[in-house]
A and B are shown apart, each in its own frame.
Chain A
Amino acid sequence: MTAENSFNRNILISVFGHICVVLIIFFRAISMPDEPIQIRNAIRVDVVGLPQKNETLPEKVPEKPSPAPAPKKMPAKAAEPVKPKAPTVALDKKEKKKDLTKAEKRALEKLKAMEALEKIEAEVGKAKSTKPKATAVAGNKVSEGNSLTGLEKIDYDRYFDSLESKVHAAWSIPQWLADGNFKASVQVQIDENGNIIHRVFKKTSGNDIFDAKVVEALDNSSPFPPPPARLRGAMANRGVIFNFPQ
């Protein structure tokens, strides 16, 4: 009897614990929604070869790779980039996670800089290399640090990028509307095959022809690429909000 009672008690405790966990997850989802995920361009970088030693290493090591392209004065008003290639610092904000994530990001940035430098060198034809090549040894951290989380994030970023590209390619407006500074936002829910389940204006532009063009762009973009497995639920239930133009 004692053993049976003990067993039942343990089962009770276990069930009670599971219920608590479920309730915590449920109420957290409702009462504390996630911060909006700002989509930025992301690229995948794989280290495919170890860098060679630089024969002409300078004594002092410059901190930043700083490639040369920008001329002297190019202040803020630069001509309408589609996406600001802002540093990914903003993305880190929502993650208070581990230093491992930050280290991964730093390593990725350094790898990108290294690739850019190598391209410039190839075009100019100079043999000079800078310390970033040496610092790219730090790129080994990428392969060591390639956790599932990091790659998943890149996959998600790539997926959202593909959505943006498709809609952008389908979106055009007449010239007479272009100067009107109209803006609209549409929430779109997408099924596992990439089809639009539902779309609703979160914010109309106030011009019904502009709004019609927005709808036309979304409809012409469908079907979208199928979402990654882990995003299917979110895309079907919560969807994504497209801002026209931004």
Chain B
Amino acid sequence: MKWILALLMVCSVSLSFSEMAPAEDSGIFIDVGQASVKKSLIALTPFQYIGSQTTNAKHLEAGQNLYRVVLNDLSVSSFFSFIKPEAYIEDPNKVGLKPAPAVANGFNFQNWKSIGTEFLVRAAYSVVGDELSFEVYVYHVPTARLVMGKSYHGALSAYRKVAHTFSDDLVRSLTGKRGMFNTKLVASRQDNRFQEGVRGAGVKEIYILDWDGAAQTKITSHQSLSLSPAWSTKGDKIAYTAFAYHKAQHTRNADLFIFDIPTGKRFIVSYRKGINSGAAFLPGDQSMLLTISQEGNPDIYRMSTDGANLRPVTHGPNHAMNVEPAVSPDGEKIAFSSDRGGRPMVYTMNMDGGSVKRLTFAGKYNSSPAWSPDGKTLAFAGQDADHFDIFTMSSDGSNLKRLTDARKTNGKASNNESPSWSPDGRHIVFTSDRTGHSQLFLVNPDGTNERQITDDHFNWEKPKWSPYLD
């Protein structure tokens, strides 16, 4: 019997052994889902002047200008919340750019950690003659690690480019993706209200400007109405429509021009009778789409950028108008506006005009479709009741969202129109008349971070955001 009892003991031991098997791969998986996101606290400390002319007002102003541009860039990025200087424990003007104890009189990480800083920017600049030098270090405070350390040099007049380049570099260091701070906008600007008999009053010219509204440069002088500009995909050309005067016919016509930015040369590419407007370059910039009304109804055509090889993409139906073509980033689809269903709505079709699909059904008037850089989303202007707002939807028409809903100073709903995406897909520029004049605004695709870009007495129209320019 003894050996029977021994066997029984072996059984019980083996049973407990199977329970104590080492942790193996668990068969139970739990998907936690998307995290909630929050902005990072950043201490953008004042830029120290390390030049020799400490009382040179021009030098000091350069530093303030640099700071202001960087602050605006980082604020618009939506990545950061700024710690107020009053909360700083140590005076950043009295410590160095690098941390102690590695350098004498270095800053103390703990002083920044204790106020919850996630990123610390330490920078200094100097001006020698007309050259600006800017040295900047960005630290991740919780890990006491240097994220980036760079120095920038350029003409004093190019301080904006220096600032934007730093902002781009910081975004790339953190996200691995390009920032949009060196990109530009092109838009039509109406200088004055039309006045009978007053030369130049009410004219609209095309301007290129920095995305933040600065450095506005006029590129047309038709003394007429210049409208609907569009960037080439490489960002070196602007197509636009201008009501140019035809001497032979003694009349004006909406002709399509291309302006070559590097050379400053201008070419007329389509001057067919009627409208030649709403140009959109195809990838590669050898061809473009535009709206032409020479046959009576505005239809979308495709042609080479030298004006040749014109062929229709749409034809009605039933004398419908088909306008505002927008090429998808992969060059496979066209979004456009058409009233073939009775009132203007947004449609998509293939490049050959086939497979037309209506995307919008709600609202009175939907127009100005614009593709996001990843091709997954379309922004457009939709008229709801008595005003226009900016909407986004998935490229199949689902997931409709409203991004704007502002009021004018008189309490009435404002008109928000003409959306265009930044090349990183994180912002949309549009026009809004909420201030009384049509100004440029931007908003994030989720409807947050709505802010004014231009603030003047002009009327801006049809802005388009450039591609990456460097």
On A, residues with C-beta under 8 Å from B are 8, 11-12, 15, 18-19, 22-23, 25-26, 29-30, 33-39, 73-75, 77-80, 82-83, 160, 163-164, 167-168, 171-180, 187, 189, 198, 202, 208-209, 212-213, 217, 233-234, 237-246
Contact = CB atoms under 8 A, between A and B. Distances in A.
Contacts of A241: 25-26, 28-30
A178 B36 CA distance: 9
A78 B401 CA distance: 13
Interface stretch (B10-18, B234-242, B382-390): B10-18
Nearest to A167: B32
Q: Which of B26, B32, B33, B78 has the most CB of A within 10 A?
A: B32
A160 B32 CA distance: 11
B421 to A, nearest CB: 15
Contacts of B30: 39, 160, 163-164, 167, 240-243
A184 B23 CA distance: 19
Contact of B40 (A82, A174, A198): A174
Contacts of A168: 32-33
B330 interface: no
B34 A240 contact: no
Nearest to A186: B32
B34 A245 contact: yes
B398 A246 contact: no
Contacts of B10: 19
Nearest to A182: B35
19 contacts: A15-B7, A33-B24, A37-B28, A38-B29, A75-B396, A77-B399, A163-B30, A171-B32, A171-B36, A172-B37, A173-B37, A212-B143, A217-B35, A233-B19, A241-B28, A242-B29, A243-B31, A244-B35, A245-B35
A174 B38 contact: yes
Contacts of B247: none
Interface residues of B, number: 48
B27 A174 contact: no
B32 A164 contact: yes
B109 to A, nearest CB: 16
Contact of B27 (A19, A26, A33, A164): A33
B177 interface: yes
B21 interface: yes
A214 to B, nearest CB: 9
Contacts of A80: 34
B174 interface: yes
Contacts of B11: 15, 18-19, 22
Contacts of B20: 237
Interface of B: 1, 4, 7-8, 10-11, 14-15, 17-40, 78-79, 118, 140, 142-143, 171, 174-177, 394, 396-399
A29 B171 CA distance: 50
B140 A209 contact: yes
Q: Which of B8, B35, B38 has the most CB of A within 10 A?
A: B35
Given A168-B33, A238-B27, A245-B35, A179 B396 contact: no
A74 B398 contact: yes
Contact of A175 (B25, B26, B39, B398): B39
B290 to A, nearest CB: 31
B89 to A, nearest CB: 22
A196 to B, nearest CB: 13
A175 B78 contact: yes
Nearest to B14: A22
A33 B35 CA distance: 31
Given A33-B24, A238-B24, A174 B39 contact: yes
B37 A174 contact: yes
Contact of A15 (B4, B39, B399): B4
A36 B24 CA distance: 13
A240 B29 contact: yes
A232 B35 CA distance: 28
A231 B17 CA distance: 18
Contact of B23 (A30, A163, A173, A237): A237
Given A187-B25, A237-B21, A246-B31, 19 more contacts: A23-B14, A30-B21, A39-B31, A78-B398, A78-B399, A164-B32, A164-B33, A171-B32, A171-B36, A173-B36, A174-B118, A175-B37, A176-B40, A176-B171, A239-B23, A241-B26, A241-B28, A243-B30, A244-B35
Nearest to A218: B32
Contacts of B23: 187, 189, 198, 237-239
A172 B36 contact: yes
Nearest to B426: A179
Q: Which of B18, B30, B36 has the most CB of A within 10 A?
A: B30
A77 B19 contact: no
Given A174-B37, A176-B174, A238-B26, A77 B398 contact: yes
B28 A39 contact: yes
A73 B11 CA distance: 62
Contacts of B78: 175
A30 B20 CA distance: 12
B175 A176 contact: yes
A29 B33 contact: no
Given A77-B396, A78-B398, A179 B175 contact: yes
Contacts of A34: 27
A223 B145 CA distance: 31
B29 A73 contact: no
Given A175-B39, A176-B40, A77 B28 contact: no
A56 B253 CA distance: 69
B26 A83 contact: no
Nearest to A171: B35
Q: Which of B24, B31, B118, B140 has the most CB of A within 10 A?
A: B31
Given A26-B18, A237-B23, A36 B28 contact: yes
Contacts of A240: 26, 28-30
B41 to A, nearest CB: 9
Contact of A243 (B14, B29, B118): B29
A209 B29 contact: no
Contacts of A246: 31-33
Contacts of A202: 25
B27 A35 contact: yes
A125 B142 CA distance: 57
Contact of B79 (A26, A77, A175, A234): A175
B35 A19 contact: no
